[in-house]
Structure 1
């Protein structure tokens, strides 16, 4: 029977508070104040279950407190949260009965995994420190592999399944090893009970009642979140996984069947997941989504034909990592899968092939009937797939009527309505002009031939004017449609939509993804800069060639002008010479002769007077 509960409040110290395990233990309803000064705390908790770097500090702490025991003014409790890996190399109790579990009553027989020698050494130090001192109680809580509230060691499998990027989730090794586990909330409850009841003995196993294998754990996670398919790979492949630490890899190899006898007999633990992860997978998955903010985003995008719904849908899907759903793509994909089943039937499952053929015939008959029973079933299957339940979707151009919306969502618990309904719109003239300017191949692919397009546009306008339109249906569900402008005319439409929908609800990029994205951006920037430089160089070359051509043209023109000018001057010179020789030189010659003969004082004046006479 449990000891009498001691209700006095205590100051608690918890190491490494930012880690997954310690953070969740600290969130337990007690919410006692965490202090950094060990001597001022009545309870000191050191968690080394997930961080080997804390072993040395925990060893120092328990020794330092033991040395200061004379200065204690009240009872101090030191709790070491260790790991079942200190049992990993233990010899079976009965070789003939492999299912006989290890219990905390025989903790002195445990043997540690080679990489957890420091952990078991610390466990022995902690147990010994509290044996001879009444005012200093020490406990070791050997925790199973922890799960829940966002996940710790199993997070890789949850993330890989949630992302849905792999068609199969890996099980490393044969997967038959039994893994002792405990929900992190139950671990916190065990620790709280130790503080309040202060039981004897001082060593407790903290594991749930499950004896699940690694294969069972991975399969149930893959089924609840991902593709439901698993594949066994050599255990050595796990070392290629950069998301798992060496400590986590070692822990996933543990093979122990264990029972927490002391916890069951001495404490009053209110179990959150006593049956383990497999038995409580739906609860654990919901905690995982909520703890990490991985909530789906469901969007419905409506509008007239050719307004740009698909282009905008794909941009939203890219930004939020959502799944794009259209009636046509969903039906064609489903038909392709059915054709594959029919053409390659399983000899042991003839009924499946027959059902596939029947459904394929029904889809073929209803291919042109939008909103048929068969089409709605395919849409529901897509919308309730694990991928859409994980990330969410953008439902493109459907439903278009009140009845289609009612048939799709009404009375279907799994088919949840969208969070946001976005409505694009544009004038009929704008839409018509846009279709006219589309390539002929696109027009035929989308069914935008003149008569068909105008008919579809008219039907859309009529549906929106109905007394009960599709928008009325969503308004009745308190989903107010967000009326948008024309995507082709509003450059800031995407920005406004992203503001309306809020931030992405998905994983932030990993360091490797960030590095790859930065590399991609850098490469694109370098490519763009190179292209810009090439354009500038071409411009400069063209300018140089143009300048050279202009210079050549100017030079040629200048040369021609010069030659004409020289010819003109030559003609004038000849005319002037002829004039001088005929009219000036005879008179001038006579004057110069007279000037030489008389030698006047002013020759020029003499020549002038001579010319005058």
Structure 2
């Protein structure tokens, strides 16, 4: 779709040779197309909901009911349904072509429906000539095609599309484009092999089965060109094969892709493919297809400017560049430099883990190079031997043996150390290796001097270029670091750090007091201000970043690493592997469970504390209530004594006599009698 959005409408009709038989049928179409200006406006849906709208898309729409989808389809002149990548589109595509066909009478102009299918609908097709099993299948054989058992629904939809297009072709033209396995840009099905090669985790790339099956392929841009030709030319053929000229076997393709990484392949059982999280059953079905096919129609009738007409093998270098650019897989090259004990290895190790880079230590490089030479002299590559002349292979073994002898002799003469010429040679080979070129690297403390730096990164210049004083010196951009970090610290700080190292770390290293001071003095002497190795990077305008580690007391160098990450930016790689993602998810789940458990324990503790506090408050309230009641009772009793005395002295005697008199006389109204008695016999009145 990206390619079509950048295509000028009618571009495929340039240099078109129209047969006399086609003039009458296609004159109207050609006229309408050639008069159209501009590029195609691409509208459609995205496979991932809520995904960002592609830059090339004029509009991205979504729908909740198929009636809404039909309205969008009726507004389009050309409808393309891709069922090659997703079987989920089969049902919708079947409905769409049927719904559009039922609306033919309402079309304002001609509509084109293109079904992008797969050559898997041909998997079980028998050769046209039984005596010649290698005779290629062509578009003329499409009526005899028989599908792979897992692609019968694809075949049924292909037949439906062709059938509906035969009724009123001037109003509704339908085509089926059967595509080979698509590669290019992000590589499609072949991405599994590209990723395995790029990561370089295995010594060889897996090739499923014997790899002798012929795999029809086409570059994604060439497929887009085929679709453009179908849209603009309205060919007579309803069924079109979209294939490049290659007839490569799976083994040849995997071998070519392996050049991105180790350059070797290993044959594994087909069933092992499903053990990978990156491959589905459909992917495996495609990879194990064995079809010899020729796309005659597009070569005889279409105007295609091929990107990869010869196929994957012949165009592998361009495909590797496309692959890296499309997936933003850019190698990151960093150098960590500085005096002894400044923390170079610690910082480099953590950065290498964070960015998934190769940690380059000079000792490991030399040991690895010697081990590789020994391996070459004793076990020459069997697979390479099959593909090269025997004399050439013997010559490579002799060269390896000769170099190994020179290295060992040099080490014997220099007390186990190598001269710079060998070190530089091995270091260049390491930095030029595919793992370092794919993911990138972090140089740990090497080079150490100006001369080593210049010899490692410089390239030869012409005499004319050398005479130009102001010209930036030429350097090897492939292996020269993009970021140079110089970790700085005073001698006193470094000395104290070395002295405080644990005994287990110091034993057998140059961190013992005498050796450390000699190394530090040697470093300062070799990197005097006038001839510091950092001067070389300034000369080629890759200016080092100085970081003072003495300002930080963190043994883990966390602030230093954070500063470097801010400068370098985000990683440009695949990110975590599936196993790492699972481990990350497991850790996140464990952390989440621990957090939830801690929150539950805290909530239960808080609830228990609140319950205990509530009980304590209730008991305290009851205690205080009882105290208040007691105090009120005492208060009442205390304040009632005078009144009681008064009643006993002044009221009760008179009241008693009155009650006695009332009982004797028994008046009709005792209350009135008693009141009158008390009034008359009130002692105060008397």
Compare 341-350 and 209-218 and name the one that shifted more: 341-350
What TM-score, normalized to structure 2? 0.71
Alignment correspondent of 1:408 = 456
Distance of 1:449 and 1:513 partners within structure 2: 38
Alignment correspondent of 1:360 = 404
- The question of whether the paired residues in 2 share the 8 Å contact of 1:12 and 1:43 is answered with no
Distance of 2:396 and 2:308 partners within structure 1: 38
Residue 354 of structure 1 deviates from its aligned partner by 4.1
Alignment correspondent of 1:506 = 573
- The question of whether the paired residues in 1 share the 8 Å contact of 2:127 and 2:134 is answered with no
Distance of 2:191 and 2:587 partners within structure 1: 28
TM alignment of 1:347-496, pairs within 5 A: 351-364=395-408, 365=410, 372-411=420-459, 415-440=478-503, 442-486=505-549, 489=553, 491-496=558-563
1:154-180 superposed Cα distances (whole Å, 9 cap, x missing partner): 111111111111222211111100000
- The question of whether the paired residues in 1 share the 8 Å contact of 2:83 and 2:89 is answered with yes
Alignment correspondent of 2:91 = 56
Compare 280-289 and 297-306 and name the one that shifted more: 280-289
Residue 82 of structure 1 deviates from its aligned partner by 0.6
Residue 526 of structure 1 deviates from its aligned partner by 8.6
Distance of 2:531 and 2:110 partners within structure 1: 72
Residue 446 of structure 1 deviates from its aligned partner by 2.9
TM alignment of 1:70-469, pairs within 5 A: 70-133=105-168, 134-222=170-258, 224-342=259-377, 351-364=395-408, 365=410, 372-411=420-459, 415-440=478-503, 442-469=505-532
Structure 1 residue runs without a partner (length 5+): 531-613
- The question of whether the paired residues in 2 share the 8 Å contact of 1:13 and 1:43 is answered with no
- SS of equivalent to 1:465: coil
1:408-432 superposed Cα distances (whole Å, 9 cap, x missing partner): 1122758421110011011101111
Distance of 2:596 and 2:89 partners within structure 1: 49
Compare 86-95 and 6-15 and name the one that shifted more: 6-15
Distance of 2:428 and 2:476 partners within structure 1: 11
Distance of 1:346 and 1:212 partners within structure 2: 24
Matched length: 524
- The question of whether the paired residues in 1 share the 8 Å contact of 2:42 and 2:58 is answered with no
Structure 1's 109 and 370: CA in aligned 2 closer, same or farther, altered over 3 A?
A: same
Structure 1's 14 and 279: CA in aligned 2 closer, same or farther, altered over 3 A?
A: farther
Alignment correspondent of 1:558 = none
Structure 1's 33 and 272: CA in aligned 2 closer, same or farther, altered over 3 A?
A: farther
Residue 13 of structure 1 deviates from its aligned partner by 6.1
Structure 1's 12 and 100: CA in aligned 2 closer, same or farther, altered over 3 A?
A: farther
Structure 2 residue runs without a partner (length 5+): 1-15, 19-29, 62-68, 383-389, 460-474, 598-686
Alignment correspondent of 1:555 = none
- The question of whether the paired residues in 2 share the 8 Å contact of 1:326 and 1:397 is answered with yes
Structure 1's 16 and 144: CA in aligned 2 closer, same or farther, altered over 3 A?
A: farther
1:488-515 superposed Cα distances (whole Å, 9 cap, x missing partner): 6354221111111111211133555322
- SS of equivalent to 1:434: helix
Distance of 1:214 and 1:343 partners within structure 2: 31
Distance of 2:380 and 2:322 partners within structure 1: 40
1:408-466 superposed Cα distances (whole Å, 9 cap, x missing partner): 11227584211100110111011112222334554353323444322322232233334
Distance of 1:80 and 1:476 partners within structure 2: 58
- The question of whether the paired residues in 1 share the 8 Å contact of 2:214 and 2:248 is answered with yes
1:348-380 superposed Cα distances (whole Å, 9 cap, x missing partner): 866555433432333331566676111111111
- The question of whether the paired residues in 2 share the 8 Å contact of 1:471 and 1:481 is answered with yes
Structure 1's 14 and 140: CA in aligned 2 closer, same or farther, altered over 3 A?
A: farther
Distance of 1:345 and 1:186 partners within structure 2: 41
- The question of whether the paired residues in 1 share the 8 Å contact of 2:45 and 2:60 is answered with no
Residue 33 of structure 1 deviates from its aligned partner by 5.6
Compare 445-454 and 182-191 and name the one that shifted more: 445-454
Structure 1's 60 and 453: CA in aligned 2 closer, same or farther, altered over 3 A?
A: same
Residue 215 of structure 1 deviates from its aligned partner by 0.8
Pairwise CA RMSD: 3.0
Distance of 2:235 and 2:58 partners within structure 1: 21
What TM-score, normalized to structure 1? 0.79
- The question of whether the paired residues in 2 share the 8 Å contact of 1:12 and 1:42 is answered with no
Distance of 1:121 and 1:511 partners within structure 2: 37
Compare 147-156 and 455-464 and name the one that shifted more: 455-464
TM alignment of 1:38-57, pairs within 5 A: 38-57=73-92
Distance of 1:263 and 1:484 partners within structure 2: 61
- The question of whether the paired residues in 1 share the 8 Å contact of 2:44 and 2:59 is answered with no
- The question of whether the paired residues in 2 share the 8 Å contact of 1:371 and 1:404 is answered with no
Distance of 2:381 and 2:254 partners within structure 1: 27
Structure 1's 466 and 220: CA in aligned 2 closer, same or farther, altered over 3 A?
A: same
Distance of 1:384 and 1:16 partners within structure 2: 43
Residue 11 of structure 1 deviates from its aligned partner by 6.7
Distance of 2:420 and 2:584 partners within structure 1: 43
